[in-house]
Amino acid sequence: MKNHFIIATFISISLSISIGQCTFSPSNTWAVLVDTSRFWFNYRHVGNVLSIYHSIKRLGMPDSHIILMIADEMACNARNPRPATIFDNAAEKTNLYGDTVEVDYGGYEVTVENFIRLLTGRHVPGTAPSKRLLTDDQSNILIYITGHGGDGFVKFQDNEEVSSQELADAFEQMWQKRRYREILFIVDSCQAYSMALPVYSPNILALGSSRVGEDSLSHHVDPKLGVYVADRYSYYLLQFLEKVGPTSRHTLADFLGVCPYHECLSHVTAKLDLYNRDPAQVSVLEFFGSRRSVEILDDAANFTAAPDVSAAADAAYASASTASHPVYLAYKPLFP
């Protein structure tokens, strides 16, 4: 027996809202967080990058604006006595590798080629949107790299390197292609400041956790894991970010004071000549968070409906009440 369908088409409701003038400006802040190291003894680098990841998410940056690159699965390593966990502190209070972590590039996907393609937007066909940095000329971008480095390079996967000049040229491509407004570039590695020296594109504040010729040191060991769980600069950067809230007035000048020599045992050094704003006048949330400004002016809100909507609804209900077969009601979309 065939099913018969009574289709009651509801006339769409006309919704009219007038609240004066409303300005809604979503933040255009992005982050690229990169752990470049493999092998269990580099556990701390995963802890570094995940601590920054959770901090900027807490400050409002959505996962859709964060590209997270982790070179090794420390949480699943056979040496890990606490499977599926990553900690950046020997107290092991917070598992950084929880259910909310979204890794965009993992394992052997973390390569120099993929990193440069990500920055410049020159992806191979078919690359998923979640693996793309979808920025524009109004975007502020935080780029944070942690791993092993030397004079003018950072190692990837312990078998290749990205040079400081390659990275400087990638930034210039980004500028020419209008892919950023400002960049905050942080490297936590040995001789980290060497990665900033060749940078020549405008509106970039670059910072290294150590000068050329200096090592960047680890902070402390977790005896239960048998490895260092944090580097000194990233450890104190996290302490700073934990004091920052959505309404904080901390500035980039405050950020530049993180980890003085007596804490880092290296000289944290910043390259400021390409950055055209006073760091004391720039909120850290412009790079480490995301804010939305909403301005609402009081006025009337009017909700009006087409006069025959009620009659159409009554007719459809009456037909449904007397039907002895299945009834399917089709609704016309309010906003097609």
Active-site positions read 148, 190
Pairwise CA distance, residues 76 & 79, whole Å? 8
State how far the Cα of 130 lies from the Cα of 213, in Å rounded to an integer: 37
Contacts of residue 334, defined as CB under 8 A and 6 or more positions apart, other chains included, come to 12, 13, 15
Q: What stretches of 59-163 show up as alpha helix (H) in DSSP? A: 112-120
Rounded to whole angstroms, the Cα distance separating 114 from 214 reads 28
Main-chain dihedrals φ then ψ at residue 15, nearest 5 degrees: -105, 120
Give 195's DSSP letter: G
How remote is the C-alpha of 152 from its chain's centroid?
A: 26
H-helix or E-strand containing 3? none
Extended strands (E) in 117-202 = 140-146, 149-150, 153-156, 160-163, 182-188
DSSP 130: G
Q: Please give the backbone phi and psi of residue 40, each rounded to the nearest 5 degrees, phi first.
A: -60, -40
Beta bridge partners of 67: 32
Q: Are strands 105-106 and 66-70 parallel, antiparallel or unpaired?
A: parallel
Cβ 89 vs Cβ 239: under 8 Å: no
